[in-house]
Structure 1
Amino acid sequence: MTEILSFSNVSFSYTPDSPEHRKAVQNVSFSINEGEWIAIVGHNGSGKSTMVKLVSGLLFPQEGEVRVMRNILTEENLWEARSNIGMVFQNPDNQFVGATVQDDVAFALENSGVPYKDMVERVHSSLEQVKMDKFLNHEPHHLSGGQKQRVAIAGALAMRPKLLILDEATSMLDPQGRDEVLKTVRALREEIGLTVLSITHDVEEAIFADRVLFMNDGKKYAEGTPSEIFALGDKLVEFGLELPFAMRMTKLFQENGVLLAGQHMSEEELVNDLWTSNFNK
């Protein structure tokens, strides 16, 4: 499989010359292959934001290597590397520059010199992919939070990146908006094999990833499937993260004598187990 992004023993400190400097990222290694969804989770100060800056070339590692499309990221190839990466940020209102939805999606394409005919096709197809094609002429500030982020995703997709980065992209949304965005990303993975890196402290978002990197104090504390990471249970809580809602409810049910087959990460799994184990007798 094609390797899209990798960190190899990457370390970075904002105060490297200080005798008591703390490394914001310390000896971190991981890789993402084409079509994967990797989630990086951790509390504030765990190193997540620094890792995003290292991926985008806003920072360069003081130790180790960051590779994009198997090429070591340098100042010389920075713009080429960035052309392979689409980003959706925390606050959708800070991302809009166009007067209408289609103007906004077209903005980066126009700046990149994409021919008009191709630009129109890309704008329409990317908005169709995120189910926002009926909002072409709407003003972005009239959209809901979830709709705004879906337009932001469309803008990223129109540039045809190899990797989509969600940088706390659901943290300012209400539950409905968050569900809209996650449903969109999951559908895009199925339809076009989208490669996703999500940076989040929302464990409900990380459930959908293929692998989860759990960061603590700048270090990669653990890496594994969502089931393997959330099986750490109280250790996650100790480091400032909540367990998924369904896991918390499962624990409460079990403590109160309700028979359940095991731990559940999704509400659907929990409801099905409750029905099978306790009410369908």
Structure 2
Amino acid sequence: MKEILSMDHVTFAYDSEEGNSRNAVENISFTVNDGEWIAIVGHNGSGKSTLAKLMIGLMFPKEGTIKVFLEELKDENLWDIRSQMGIVFQNPDNQFVGSTVQDDVAFALENNGVPFEEMVPRVHEALSQVKMDQFMNHEPHHLSGGQKQRVAIAGALALQPKLLILDEATSMLDPQGREEVIGVVGELRRQTGLTVISITHDLEEVLLADRVIVMNQGKMLRSGKPEEIFAHGDELESIGLDLPFAQRISRMLRKDGLNIKGEHMTEEELVNELWTSHFNK
């Protein structure tokens, strides 16, 4: 498969006020391939936000190499590489610059010199993809949290990126808004094969990923498919991560003496077992 992004033994250290330095990430190596959804999870201070900043060139590693679209990320090619990325941050209000939704989505296209006659259909298509085309003339700040984040995603999609990076993009949303945004991203990926990197602490969101990277104290603790990662539920809880709701309920029922098989990742799986094994008799 075509490589989209890779980190090879990457280490980054922040300078402290005392003049010392500490490694925020240490010896990190992984590869993201075309069309994958990779989730990077960890508690606050685990290093996942530092990885996000390194990916988009806000900082450069102390050691190791970062390649994006097969090119080593450097000052000289930073803007060219960023033009092929879509980036959505935690707080959409910090990204809004336009007076209307369509103005805001068009902003990045204007900065990249896209001609007006090409810009208009791209703005309309991006808003349609996230089901916000009926809000083109609304003021962004009057939208709900989920709607704002969908507009931010539309702004990223209008650039027609090869890679979409979500940096805690759902952490400030209520459950409905979070479900809206993740649903939109999942559908876009199914339709277009978009490559997604999601930096998050929401383990429900992680269930949609192809692979998961678990960060702890700046190091990669585990990497694997969601079911492989959640098989180590005790370890995840020990580093401050919450398990998916269905898995927590499964464990509680098992402790109360109910014969629950395996670790259920989704509510549907748990309900099906409860119905077939315990109630449908």
Give the TM-score taking structure 1 as reference length. 0.97
- The residue that corresponds to 2:22 in the other structure is 22
Distance 1:199 1:29 in 2: 16
Does the alignment pair 1:102 with 2:141?
no
Aligned to 2:92: 92
SS at match of 2:15: coil
Shift of 1:220: 0.5
Aligned to 1:127: 127
1:120-173 CA distance string (max 9 Å, x none): 010010111111111111111111111111110000000011110100000000
- Report the alpha carbon displacement of residue 261 of structure 1 after superposing the two structures with TM: 2.8
Residue matched to 1:2: 2
Per-residue deviation, residues 85-122 of structure 1 (Å, max 9, x unmatched):
11111111111111111111011111211111110010
**Correspondence for 1:159:** 159
Aligned-CA RMSD value:
1.4
Q: Deviations 1:147-202 (Å, cap 9, x if unpaired)?
A: 11111000000001111010000000000000000100110110001110000111
What is residue 169 of structure 1 aligned with on the other side? Answer: 169
Secondary structure class of the residue paired with 1:220: strand
CA contact (8 A) 1:25 1:50 kept: yes
- Between the aligned partners of 1:273 and 1:19, the Cα distance in structure 2 is 57
Question: 4+ runs of 1 displaced by more than 4 Å?
Answer: 16-20
Mapped to 2, the partners of 1:76 and 1:171 lie a distance apart of: 33
Say if 2:182 is the partner of 1:182. yes
Q: 2:13 — aligned with what?
A: 13
Q: How many residues of Structure 1 are paired with residues of Structure 2 in the alignment?
A: 281
- How far the C-alpha of 1:22 sits from its partner, in A, is 2.2
Per-residue Cα deviation, 1:212-244 (whole angstroms, up to 9, x for no partner): 000011100110001111111111111111111
> 1:19 Cα deviation (Å)?
8.7
**Structural mapping, 1:23-102, within 5 Å:** 23-102=23-102
Contact 1:261/1:277 (CA < 8 Å) preserved in 2?
no
Amino acid aligned to 2:180: E
Q: Specify the code of the residue in structure 1 equivalent to 2:236.
A: L
Q: Judging changes above 3 Å, is the alpha-carbon distance between structure 1 residues 119 and 249 closer, same or farther for their aligned structure 2 residues?
A: same
SS state at 1:165 partner: strand
Separation in structure 2 between the aligned mates of residue 116 and residue 271 of structure 1, nearest angstrom? 52
Quote the Cα distance in structure 2 between the aligned partners of 1:225 and 1:267.
Answer: 19
Q: Which moved more, 1:251-260 or 1:191-200?
A: 251-260
Matched with 1:271 is 271
Q: Percent identity?
A: 65
Distance, in Å, in 2 between the alignment partners of 1:185 and 1:271 is 26
Alpha-carbon distance in structure 1 between the residues aligned to 2:187 and 2:142: 25
Aligned to 1:99, what secondary structure does the other structure show?
A: coil
Distance of 1:159 and 1:227 partners within structure 2: 33
Letter in 2 for 1:237: E
Decide whether aligned partners of structure 1 residues 81 and 18 sit closer, same or farther in structure 2, where only a CA change above 3 A counts.
farther
Separation in 1 of the partners of 2:280 and 2:20?
Answer: 61
